[in-house]
Structure 1
Amino acid sequence: MKTFIRLFFRTLRTVLGPVMLLKESLTRPKGIVRPQAAQKVVDQQCQSLVLYQYQTCPFCIKVRQEISRLSLNIQRIDAQHEGPDRQALLKGGGQTKVPCLKITDKAGKTQWLYDSEKIIAYLRGRFASV
């Protein structure tokens, strides 16, 4: 029974994944336009941010849509499959839950922010008025 359930959800992800990605690309919001100097400052600030995500996770898609809306250049790492990126997420944040925003301050201290709503609130608070 367990095998059947896993097979069902794997098939569901295989079928729905491309549909979700197509919808994301078709509904991608237009990014806000900043003066070149302001965008350069934002881009520099985004170098301290990394988004750990799964490509077809609906919550990750929601965060990526907000990143596009805010015109942010944030590095994205796919942590779905076993490997060094997933291990870095587990070691640093303590769980392999996504989306997760890794925030590194100027002193090198790292904060791991989970939950799409909290990530979106953080990004809006930091970048919406810049």
Structure 2
Amino acid sequence: MAEITFYELPGCPFCAKVRSKLEELDLEYDSIEVPRAHGEREQVKEVSGQTGVPVLTDEAHGVEGMPESSDIVEYLEETYGSGAA
């Protein structure tokens, strides 16, 4: 099991943006496809407090339920990409 978990919905352009960054950085991650209906997204609500996607968790760095594609992409770049120390 990977330390990064990515909650996504197929066809979601914001999710595709995050998935592209994960793949660009060659990161291992588990993908969890959430239901289309917001009311059925209990699993993502438990980790993030909301039902929107994308959401990312990263056990290696204590990130639990980060929402917002731009924030996730920035985090991944700073943590694993060229911004990493």
**TM-score category, normalised to shorter length:** 0.7 to 0.9
Q: Does 1:67 find its partner at 2:22?
A: yes
Task: Provide closer, same or farther for how the CA distance between residues 59 and 88 of structure 1 changes in structure 2, counting only shifts above 3 A.
Answer: same
Q: In the alignment, what sits opposite 1:104?
A: 59
Runs of 4+ in 1 over 6 A off after TM superposition: none
Q: Which has the higher contact order (CA 8 A, sep 6+)?
A: 2
Q: Is the 8 A contact 1:53 1:80 kept in 2?
A: no
Q: Could you tell me which residue of structure 2 aligns to residue 117 of structure 1? A: 70
Give % identity.
28
Matched, 1:53 2:8: yes
- Taking the aligned partners of 1:73 and 1:55, their CA distance within structure 2 comes to 19
TM-fit CA distance, 1:110: 5.3
- What is the one-letter code of the residue matched to 1:63? V
Q: Which has the larger radius of gyration?
A: 1
Q: TM-score, normalised by structure 2?
A: 0.80
For normalisation by structure 1, the TM-score amounts to 0.54
Matches of 1:94 and 1:58 in 2, distance apart? 21
User: Of 30, 34, 43, which residue of structure 2 is paired with 1:79?
Assistant: 34
Residues 17 and 69 in structure 2, CA contact (< 8 A), matched pair in contact too: yes
**Bigger fraction of residues in strand:** 2
Give, as a single letter, the amino acid of the residue that structure 1 aligns with 2:15. C
User: Where do 5+ consecutive residues of structure 2 fail to align?
Assistant: none
